Amino acid sequence: MNTVADERVTEVWERLVREAQQSGYIVNTDDAFAKDLVRGLLENEARYGYRACPCRLASGVASEDQDIVCPCDYRDADLDEYGTCYCGLYVSPEVSRGERTGGSIPDRRPVGGVSARGEEMEQVSMKGLAFPVWRCRVCGYLCARPQPPLVCPVCKAGKERFERFM
Amino acid sequence: MLEPKHVEGIHNEHKVFLYALSTCGWCRKTKALLQELGIAYDYIDVDEQQGPDRELAKQEVLKWNPSLSFPTMVLDDKESVIGFSEARIRRIVSE
């Protein structure tokens, strides 16, 4: 273990903290805890080629684990309901201010992952749109353009995390 | 063949087995608290297992926790504790 250099962990942690602030998210203010999670993300990146959630068992197959690449598809719902995401890297303003306790929460991900998630969301049918509308599965950002953006401008999720909305 | 790691402790009254992920913060907290309280335990970091061992470890976790989440702690081969439960861990020493 500890195959990832401390400097690299700190560098990525600083970037995540900054990006979170810019887009209205909060990285856990227990810095040591958050940095350990970032280390886990980087270890998973080295192992699997993507930053799978450090608190979930990745399959090693990118397409099956798309939903648990950090930030995961379940983060925002967990922040709303529990004030923390599943691994605890992100917390709500209430938790960060100490007005609410985060902690270990149940996993919202269906057993079996993406393949068990069922049908794609129902698409709204709109005739005559100049562009298709794409939705970010992570944060819900919508945009009308021929293709989804390479990176979600809000939550930084990759293009593959978008689904056709209209 | 799974090879659990053993951590010594002054409290051996209960059999404590932990299925964990080496990268997970809640698993780390669980291990730290067990150690702090001096509870002897065995553990497997399932993410560190390769090939058939990984599948074997998954099947073992599933027996105790159908959602295959971590940490999963098994007490005396009969009770499973899912997630980091500070209160439940502290009760181990007083039972």
Element (H, E) at B50: none
Phi, psi of B74 (to 5 degrees): -115, 125
Q: Look at B70 and A39 and tell me if their CB atoms are within 8 Å.
A: no
Reported as a single tens digit per residue, the pLDDT across A37-64 is 999 999 999 999 999 999 999 999 999 9
Beginning with the edge strand found earlier in the chain, give each strand of the sheet holding A162-164 in spatial order.
Answer: A142-144, A133-136, A162-164
Q: What is the pLDDT of residue A2?
A: 59
- pLDDT for A126 beyond 90: no
Mean pLDDT of A103-111: 91
Instruction: Give the number of other CB atoms < 10 A from CB of residue B81.
Output: 21
CA distance A98 to B52: 44
pLDDT band at A111 (very low <50, low <70, confident <90, very high): confident
Q: Angle at Cα B64 formed by Cα B58 and Cα B65, nearest 5°?
A: 75
Q: What is the pLDDT of residue A112?
A: 76
Instruction: Give the number of other CB atoms < 10 A from CB of residue A3.
Output: 9
pLDDT band at A119 (very low <50, low <70, confident <90, very high): low
pLDDT band at A118 (very low <50, low <70, confident <90, very high): low
Reported as a single tens digit per residue, the pLDDT across A60-92 is 999 999 999 999 999 999 999 999 999 999 999
Distance from CA of B79 to the nearest CA of A (A): 18
Bridge partners (DSSP) of residue B42 are B6, B17
Are B37 and B94 contacting, i.e. CB atoms less than 8 angstroms apart?
Answer: no
Bridge partners (DSSP) of residue A26 are A91
Distance from CA of A155 to the nearest CA of B (A): 22
Q: What is the pLDDT of residue A37?
A: 98
* Chain B residues touching residue A74 (CB < 8 angstroms): none
- Beta pairing class for A26-27 and A90-91: antiparallel
- pLDDT for A159 beyond 80: yes
Interface of B with A in 20-49 (CB under 8 A): 21-28, 46-47
Reported as a single tens digit per residue, the pLDDT across B65-82 is 999 999 999 999 999 999
Q: What is the pLDDT of residue B4?
A: 96
Q: What is the mean pLDDT of chain B?
A: 96
Residue of B nearest to A39 (CA): B23
Instruction: Give the number of other CB atoms < 10 A from CB of residue B30.
Output: 26
Q: What is the pLDDT of residue A117?
A: 72
Are B82 and B35 contacting, i.e. CB atoms less than 8 angstroms apart?
Answer: no
Q: Where are the domains of chain B?
A: 5-84
- The string of DSSP letters for A16-53 reads HHHHHHHTT-EE-S-HHHHHHHHHHHHHHHHHHSS-B-
Architecture of domain B5-84: 3-Layer(aba) Sandwich (3.40)
Q: Which domains does chain A have, with CATH numbers?
A: 6-116 (3.90.460.10), 119-166 (2.20.28.10)
Instruction: Give the number of other CB atoms < 10 A from CB of residue B31.
Output: 19
